[in-house]
Amino acid sequence: MTTKIFAHRGASKVAPENTMAAFKLAYDMHAEGIETDVQLTKDNIPVLIHDENVRRTTNGTGFVQDYTLEELKQLDAGSWFSEKYEGETIPTLDEFLTWIQDKPLRLNLELKNNVIDYKDLEKIVYDRLVAFDLIPRTVISSFSSESIKRFKEISSDLATAWLTSNKIRFLIPFTKSLGANRLHAKYTLLNKRLVKKCHQNDLELAIYTVNRPNQMNRCFQLGCDTIFTDVPDIALLERNK
């Protein structure tokens, strides 16, 4: 089994996270998949940005959910990272799906509905994936267990993952009880037993966010199915040594 390497928010070490520039660089680096974060605008358009608030990664202020798409598109999502990326905008989910459709990349859409419970986010995203015929290549994840359950009610044919950074009791039975196919866990939760338990219970295990070579190699040696990294080029070099 070979651990798959997913670019976390794109190649986010060298380009502004969750922009088309970061996704394109990840593809050029030969990442095998891309992880990105989905929030909803005021007019219910899914867009790719990590935080609920635009302040950290754009030249604007305020919440994504208070902007229409037209207003959001006026914001610069590149300059905060480097002048070189001035003019990058927050991508819509449709822009991303259009770009990825003809590329041999897997997708992980993380629904950012654990802070703001965006109404109908699951159905909106599901419909876009169907429209682009991308269900087979996609895994949906969320820190919200309720969201994972809602997704399973909408469709059983789409892979889902519960995300956690917490060392809880009964982690595996809880993940299974949601109907999830995968567990996406923070690196600090990783140990040999977790990998074994996941696989015994037919759960794929993905680990975030793995940026140091020694951590990458531990994930490879333990048999994690996927890692999320800001530096996919380094991860590929380490894995293919």
Chain residues that interact with Ca ion, rule: CB under 5 A: 37, 110
- Pick between residue 58 and residue 83 the one whose CB is nearest to ligand G3P: 58
Which is it for strands 46-48 and 33-40: parallel, antiparallel or unpaired? Answer: antiparallel
Please state the φ and ψ torsions of residue 227, each to the nearest 5 degrees.
-125, 150
How near is the Cβ of 59 to ligand G3P at its closest, in Å? 22
Which two structure tokens, joined as six digits, stand for 39? Answer: 């929030």
For the chain, how many residues are written?
Answer: 241
Task: Give CA–CA dist 12/228, Å, rounded.
Answer: 11
Is there a catalytic annotation at residue 199? no
| Interacting partner of 88 out of Ca ion, ligand G3P, none (Cβ under 5 to 8 A depending on kind) | none
Which CB, 88 or 230, lies closer to Ca ion?
Answer: 230
Instruction: Give whichever of 8 and 102 is closer to ligand G3P, judged by the CB atom.
Output: 8
The verdict on 138 binding ligand G3P (CB under 6 A) reads: no
CA distance 229 to 212: 9
110 scored as a contact of ligand G3P (CB under 6 A): yes
User: In angstroms, what is the minimal distance from the CB of 16 to ligand G3P?
Assistant: 15
Q: Is 93 in the site for ligand G3P (CB under 6 A)?
A: no
Q: Where are the beta strands (DSSP E) in the chain?
A: 4-8, 33-40, 46-48, 106-111, 138-142, 159-164, 182-186, 204-208, 226-229
8 classed as catalytic: yes
The residues binding ligand G3P (CB under 6 A) are: 8, 35, 37, 50, 110, 141, 163, 184, 208-209, 228
Known catalytic residues are: 8, 50
